[in-house]
Amino acid sequence: MCKSTHHQTEPSIVVLLEAEGFEDQWTTHLLNEHPDAEIRHWPDWGDMTEGDYLIAWKLPHGTLEKATNLKAIFSVGAGVDQLLEDPGFPKHVPLVRLVDPTLNIGMAEFVSMGVLSFHRNFIDYLEYQKLGVWSPIAQVQPNNRAIGIMGLGQLAQSCISSLTSYGFNLAAWGAPGTEPLEQIPCYEGKDGLAAFLARTEILVIITPLNKHTQRILDREMLKNLPRGASILNVARGAILSEQAVYELLNEKHIDRVWLDVFDKEPLPTNHWAWSHPRAIITPHIAAATLPGPAATIVAKNITRFEQGAAVEGIVDPDEVF
């Protein structure tokens, strides 16, 4: 009796696909929760009709069409757009994004670092040091610094609470239909975006890439930012037009950008952002998934699927693209 109950809640196979070098750590944590599970690693999937659960960041297009018996697909990250880029993505299989408090902490750290670097002219001082220049820049009080958080989700909210503690003049923007926050002014949809940008000196892009946000920050939209504004993008490259950012930097409409995400990653060696004097780049590390906590969350979600219980983070693929 006991044995058969146990058996019912053990997935037979978990396929762990491409966890960017952390496969062994993922496996250890998954086996802690599901000791009888068989874990396979991409590309050694074997018969792709075998496999109950898939954990992946991004797959070669066409892969998932062959995995016909999956009970759920888990993203290794908070975003799922990279999986849904595959035209053959099986939309009937539940797709789960990673909801992990450690991502919120990492994101709040990184965004605070970026915003404070712009706000306190840290990058200017790095340049001054190289030039041998001793020149204080007038300090702006945080309540006179308008920060715009483009996003209203859990990651955005974590950044908002961190930035609130400095006393910044904060506002946020959400895609149509997003629940506004009570504590700061919120703008919504494409119409609200122009007004939101017009009051923003430091723009933080931290919203999912989906049908509402893809390329929403084109040249025309970005020109709503006041002259001298800066941009920190920690979401997805495809939310903005990289070409428009390049032009507006060169026209000195935008002062500086810090880009952690790009249309094409790794960033091609001939991309302008590598050497642009007003651009800082980081290699998509704003909030890295840590295998320990993330694998434990996914393993517990697998248990919930096996038990038919509710799972947090299920995404409607038609809402994304």
Closer of 169 and 213 to ligand GLV (Cβ):
213
The single-letter DSSP state of residue 217 is B
Pick the stretch among 60-68, 73-81, 184-192, 274-282 that binds ligand GLV (CB under 6 A): 73-81
Closer of 9 and 82 to ligand GLV (Cβ):
82
Q: Residues touching ligand GLV: how many (CB under 6 A)?
A: 4
Provide the CB-side half-sphere exposure for 2 (13 A, CA): 0
Residue with tokens 């810090």: 258
Burial class for 194, CB neighbours closer than 10 Å (0-12, 13-18, 19+): middle
Question: Concatenated DSSP letters for 37-86?
Answer: -EEEETT---STT--SEEEES---TTTGGG-TT-SEEEESSS--HHHHTS
* Active-site annotation holder among 119, 212, 236, 256: 236
CB of 116 to ligand GLV, least distance (A): 22
Residue 136 host element (H or E): none
Pick the stretch among 71-79, 121-129, 159-167, 263-271 that binds ligand GLV (CB under 6 A): 71-79
CB of 79 to ligand GLV, least distance (A): 3
**Residues 259-298 within binding reach of ligand GLV (CB under 6 A):** 289
**Residues 92-131 within binding reach of ligand GLV (CB under 6 A):** none
Provide the CB-side half-sphere exposure for 201 (13 A, CA): 15
Closer of 77 and 174 to ligand GLV (Cβ):
77
Beta carbons of 74 and 92 less than 8 angstroms apart: no
CB of 95 to ligand GLV, least distance (A): 13
Q: Which of 13, 15, 55, 78 binds ligand GLV (CB under 6 A)?
A: 78
**Residue 153 in the binding site for ligand GLV (CB under 6 A):** no
CB of 77 to ligand GLV, least distance (A): 3
Q: Using N-to-C axis directions, what is the helix angle for 291-307 and 23-33, rounded to 10°?
A: 40
**Parallel/antiparallel/unpaired status of strands 314-315 and 95-96:** antiparallel
The single-letter DSSP state of residue 145 is S
CB of 90 to ligand GLV, least distance (A): 20
Closer of 37 and 299 to ligand GLV (Cβ):
299
Our answer to whether residue 284 is catalytic in this structure is: yes
Find residue 56's DSSP bridge partners: 17, 75
Q: Which of 77, 106, 174, 317 binds ligand GLV (CB under 6 A)?
A: 77
Closer of 142 and 237 to ligand GLV (Cβ):
237
Residue nearest to ligand GLV (CB): 77
Residue with tokens 């709503």: 224
Residue with tokens 């428009």: 244
Closer of 39 and 78 to ligand GLV (Cβ):
78
The total number of residues shown for the chain amounts to 321
CB of 260 to ligand GLV, least distance (A): 9
Our answer to whether residue 119 is catalytic in this structure is: no
User: What is the Cα Rg of the chain in Å?
Assistant: 22
Q: Which of 26, 58, 74, 79 binds ligand GLV (CB under 6 A)?
A: 79
Cα separation, 51 vs 38, whole angstroms: 9
3-state secondary structure of 296: helix
Find residue 96's DSSP bridge partners: 74, 314
Pick the stretch among 29-37, 76-84, 108-116, 297-305 that binds ligand GLV (CB under 6 A): 76-84
**Interface residues with ligand GLV (CB under 6 A)?**
77-79, 289
Catalytic residues: 236, 284
